[in-house]
Amino acid sequence: MRFRTERPESWQVCIDCANEMTELDPHPRCTVCGGLLELQHRPPSLTPAELMERFTERRGQRPGGLASGVWRFREVVLPSATDVISHPEGNTPLLHRDAIDRWSGVDRLLLKHEGHNPTGSFKDRGMTVGVTQARRIGATAVACASTGNTSASLAAYAAQAGLPALVLVPADQVAIGKLAQTLAYGARTLLVRGDFDDCLRLVEEASERLGVYLLNSINPFRLEGQKTIVLELLQQLGWQPPDWIVLPAGNLGNTAAFGKALVEAYRWGLISRVPRLAAVQAAGAAPFARSFAEDFENRYAVRAETVATAIRIGNPASFDRAVHAIRETDGVVLAVTDEEILEAKAVVDGTGVGCEPASAASVAGVRDLIRRGLMEPDQHAVAVLTGHILKDPGLLLRYHRDTDPPPPGANRPIEIAAELAAIERVLAGG
């Protein structure tokens, strides 16, 4: 076929026989000769200059540092910084999926997906500021302790800045995607026989002794960058604050950063009321939740255990800052079980959104808030997904492929012979 009248906006054409097919024709190859298809478009009705202007407007930013979802807010992050080390980062989406509403019990739950950052977690927002600062003060090397995401992010930004990086991670407790990234970006990686809390103690001692710039979230410049998760989501909502912002909590740097961002945004007139924060810990690593239940009268440290290795932290470093954040936002702190985290994760993954285990704690936390009557279904809530689904492929394969009996959401792969009959048998349910 060839279109003889006015051409439609787009159509498919065979690169072998020039047969033309409509845009919506479902055949994967040319229906005449079996050749490969190509999509063609009518020339746009706008002039080149008009087109370019339209693309620039939609993009919303010009190239350079300000294209970053962190440095866009530079006036409230680090106004004096000039030569920034930016990937760029941020500009992460606010997502919505009906199935997650149904599971959590909220009418319309928004998900701020920080797994869309360059190294796959929110840590990049803090790291761009931290490594920029390291360069400004003339640091010769940078270091951190990590459950995996901070180390991957530090390794990437240090590589960009040309600074040697030293990371300490707990041996055998880091998700495989994070360890692989850290190695590949070139950080000197030490596997410590101990847990994250041991790593943090050690790296603090080492950085003092060796004169290495410490880039854990106790570093305040990291937190300035992480504030932009909140600023960016408020901007995406047209500066109309939600009722709740829910986030997973481990070392409590992010909880502290969120509190600071909200208080400042209110003080500086960007928002007219302060949303409530809900910090969600894993039940096996919940010293902050326990302290909250006693109105923060006591501070606890525990030996942490959870499948969500990112938040497997027993003695959070930013404890005191996070207490301020919860108090100043009329916030709450919850603990959810590993079963709840895995169930939430299966729902988030099953919608095609996907996230790493620790991130799903926020969605599990939303369901808990609803069940306990603390959150109303018609309230506006944003849950933060902190890391990408591919951070922890080991857990995914254990859950879907290896666990016997299969958990409720398991999607077993099926090995078949290389023949059509085998596919037919599977599709027929045999």
Q: Which residues bind ligand F0G (CB under 6 A)?
A: 121, 123, 146-150, 217, 248-255, 310-311, 356, 358-359, 386-387
Residue 183: CB minimum distance to ligand F0G, A: 15
DSSP 65: G
In the bound state with ligand F0G, the residue whose beta carbon lies nearer, of 123 and 227, is 123
d(C-alpha 201, C-alpha 171), whole Å: 15
Nearest distance in Å: CB 165, ligand F0G: 13
Rg from Cα positions in the chain: 24
Write down the least CB distance from residue 105 to ligand F0G, Å: 23
Rounded least distance, CB 272 to ligand F0G, Å: 27
Nearest-approach distance from CB 249 to ligand F0G, in angstroms: 5
DSSP string computed for 72-126: GGGGGT-TT--S--------PPEE--HHHHHHHT-SSEEEEEGGGSTTSBTHHHH
Whichever of 144 and 271 has its CB closer to ligand F0G, that residue is 144
CB of 222: closest distance to ligand F0G in angstroms?
9
For residue 330, CA distances in Å to 73, 273, 326, 411 come to: 25, 12, 6, 40
Alpha carbon distance, N-terminus to C-terminus of the chain: 41
Q: Are 166 and 202 in contact (CB under 8 A)?
A: no
Measured from the CB atom, the residue of 148 and 259 that comes closer to ligand F0G is 148
Q: Tokens standing for 33?
A: 């000769």
**Cα(7)–Cα(408) distance, rounded to whole angstroms?**
51
Nearer to ligand F0G, 188 or 425 (CB): 188
Determine the Cα angle at 318 with ends 314 and 321, to 5°. Answer: 135
Q: Could you tell me the smallest distance in angstroms from the CB atom of residue 166 to ligand F0G?
A: 14
**Sheet harboring 10-14: ordered strands across?**
20-22, 10-14, 37-41
Strand 109-113 with 381-385, pairing: parallel
Q: Give the type of residue at 142.
A: V
Contact (CB, 8 A) for 333 and 249: yes
Going edge to edge, which strands form the sheet with 165-170? 188-192, 165-170, 142-145, 213-214
Could you tell me the smallest distance in angstroms from the CB atom of residue 332 to ligand F0G? Answer: 15
For the bound state, the minimum distance from the C-beta of residue 289 to ligand F0G, rounded and expressed in Å, comes to 12
Question: Are 94 and 112 a contacting pair, CB within 8 Å?
Answer: yes
Nearer to ligand F0G, 65 or 90 (CB): 90
Q: CA 423 to CA 105: how far, in whole Å?
A: 38
Minimum gap (Å) between residue 163 Cβ and ligand F0G: 18
Identify whether the C-beta of residue 202 lies closer than 8 Å to the C-beta of residue 145.
yes
User: How many Cα neighbours within 13 Å face the side chain of 36?
Assistant: 1
Longest dimension (CA), the chain: 80
Amino acid in the structure at residue 337: T
Cα(86)–Cα(213) distance, integer angstroms: 18
Specify the residue, 310 or 346, whose C-beta has the smaller distance to ligand F0G. 310
CB of 128 to ligand F0G, least distance (A): 15
Closest to 278 measured CA to CA, from 356, 378, 123, 383: 383
Between 86 and 254, name the residue whose CB sits nearer to ligand F0G: 254
